[in-house]
């Protein structure tokens, strides 16, 4: 990998989160030749299994879902054009915490993990990969899942800790983003869903189904990647225990059977770093926008400065 190749790191809580929230972005940068990595914090052991085929893998039966989802994640990442799964602390180190009220399991839940250990594990990843962009969740974790909230906290702390150059190994990440849902785009896409887009037992979403959306004025960046739609749809289909793609490829549903639009534009808030040029909407259209040599700041050797970005058109 050339020193002039931009590097992006996406930190997610469970398998399928990388695709549902940032799949088009991952595929977009991978296709343009960037060095893209995805770190997943748990195996998603507490997920609700869709359908009968793999139902016995669920936590209240064999409790083997987590291992199966490693394969789903590998297939999804391949569809998006990036390398094999990387799990924080190693596969299975921390367990999916489940939603609020989920009973404690024998294995330590991610939300109960020692903060110093989780932050140190991700700090080591950041220092090894030296990403120019890190992406994770907003403080509410998008829709409030405890693991998403905890992933935000761990990632925020690790980005800060990685910049500490006390041992001569610091890496200051130039740009740190939150992946978010833009309210206007989400509403428009939900209203555009047609009966043909959904399976017969799916319901169409109402306004009450919108959770954690951000107003347009709070958005800092958008990646518009219609050319990566097919890759995102294929990656979603790879997560077959969790996601069903509708007949037209324009909608999907989780275990709640509520149809949701598949978006090929994905939205971000810049949590740290300096924004690059913005369009008439006030948004960046490239997460690498504005990066210049030397922008990585203190604690970074001259050989590791942010490159003049060289990406395929």
- Tell me the binding residues for Zn(2+): 14, 17, 148
Residue pair 198/262 in contact (Cβ under 8 Å)? The answer is: no
Cβ atoms of 159 and 134 closer than 8 Å = yes
DSSP 186: H
- Going by the DSSP 8-state scheme, the letter that residue 279 receives in this structure is -
How far is 156 from 173, CA to CA, in rounded Å? 11
- Structure token pair of residue 223: 């990646």
- Taking residue 184's Cβ as centre, other Cβ atoms within 10 Å add up to 13
Which H or E run includes 133?
strand 133-137
The β-bridge relationship of strands 213-214 and 175-182 is parallel
What does each C-alpha distance from 188 to 24, 29, 219 come to in angstroms? 18, 26, 16
Check: CB of residue 135 under 8 Å from CB of residue 268.
yes
Beta strand 265-272 pairing with 221-224: antiparallel
Instruction: Name residue 67's beta-bridge partners.
Output: none
CB 262 within 8 A of CB 250: yes
Binding site listing:
14, 17, 148
Q: H-helix or E-strand containing 182?
A: strand 175-182
């Amino acid at each position: 990998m050339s020193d002039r190749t931009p590097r992006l790191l996406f930190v997610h809580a469970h398998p399928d989160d990388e695709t549902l929230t940032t799949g088009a972005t991952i595929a977009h940068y991978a296709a343009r030749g960037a060095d893209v990595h995805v770190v997943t914090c748990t195996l998603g052991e507490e997920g609700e299994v869709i359908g009968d085929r793999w139902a016995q893998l669920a936590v209240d039966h064999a409790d083997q879902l987590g291992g199966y989802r490693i394969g789903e994640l590998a297939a999804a990442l391949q569809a998006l054009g990036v390398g094999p799964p990387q799990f924080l602390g190693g596969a299975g180190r921390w367990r999916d915490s489940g939603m609020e009220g989920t009973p404690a399991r024998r294995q330590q839940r991610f939300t109960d993990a020692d903060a110093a250990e989780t932050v140190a594990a991700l700090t080591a990843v950041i220092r090894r990969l030296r990403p120019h962009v890190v992406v994770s969740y907003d403080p509410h974790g998008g829709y409030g899942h405890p693991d998403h909230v905890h992933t935000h906290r761990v990632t925020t702390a690790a980005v800060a800790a990685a910049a500490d150059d006390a041992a001569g190994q610091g890496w200051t990440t130039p740009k740190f983003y939150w992946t978010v849902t833009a309210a206007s785009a989400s509403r428009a896409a939900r209203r555009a869903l047609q009966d043909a887009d959904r399976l017969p037992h799916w319901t169409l979403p109402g306004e009450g189904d919108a959770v954690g959306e951000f107003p347009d004025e709070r958005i800092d960046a958008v990646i518009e990647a219609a050319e990566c739609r097919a890759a995102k749809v294929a990656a979603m289909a790879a997560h077959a225990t969790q996601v069903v793609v509708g007949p037209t490829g324009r909608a999907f549903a989780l275990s709640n059977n509520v149809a949701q639009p598949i978006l090929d534009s994905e939205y971000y808030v810049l949590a740290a770093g300096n924004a690059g040029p913005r369009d008439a909407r006030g948004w960046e259209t490239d997460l690498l926008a504005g990066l210049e040599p030397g922008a990585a700041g203190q604690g970074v050797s001259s050989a590791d400065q942010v490159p003049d970005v060289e990406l395929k058109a």
